[in-house]
Amino acid sequence: MADTIFVLNGPNLNLLGTREPEIYGSDTLDDIAGQLEDRGRELGLTIDMRQSNHEGHLVDWLQEAQARGAKAVLLNAGAFTHTSLAVYDAIKSIKTPVIEVHLSNPLTREEFRHESYVGRAARGTIAGFGALSYMLALEAAARI
């Protein structure tokens, strides 16, 4: 599993492509998965892409990434970014590096989005570049 990158996506990201495309772009989560898988193959990495609208799934998957020896986790926790101490604790509880990913730049949006529990625990954050944010995070994960 050392060559596996977990890509974990939180609530409402299953609606990408149709949900507020002026903010999140027109790429679907499947489009992003395909781009990551293509680039991952070039880098010798396997992508394990998952999405859930449930906070506990993200916690379980973070722990699984550690247990399975994943190289890194790319995490777009969606709204849980700003609210979840459980996700924060899960990141702090594992040694696997976590890179926070956002399609939009939360700091240019509503005030409540400026606080990131995920960012406080993550190795780094890439935000504001649409689907490219995931690709930039993958490049970073490959070099960790």
Kindly name the residue from 88, 102, 117, 134 that is annotated as catalytic: 102
Instruction: Give tens-digit pLDDT for 35-86.
Output: 999 999 999 999 999 999 999 999 999 999 999 999 999 999 999 998 899 9
Q: Which amino acid is at 3?
A: D
In the residue annotation, 24 being an active-site residue is answered as yes
In the structure, what pLDDT confidence band is assigned to residue 138 with cuts at 50, 70 and 90?
A: very high
Q: Is 108 helix (H, G, I), strand (E, B) or coil?
A: helix
Q: Quick check: 59 and 93 in contact, CB under 8 A?
A: no
Tokens of 52: 């859930």
CB 18 within 8 A of CB 30: no
Structural domains in the chain, sorted by start: 4-143 (3.40.50.9100)
Per-residue confidence band for 26, with pLDDT thresholds at 50, 70 and 90: confident
pLDDT at 25 over 80: no
Q: Strand pairing partners for 76?
A: 9
Q: Which of 24, 88, 117, 134 is catalytic?
A: 24
| pLDDT greater than 70 at residue 21 | no
73, containing H or E segment: strand 72-76
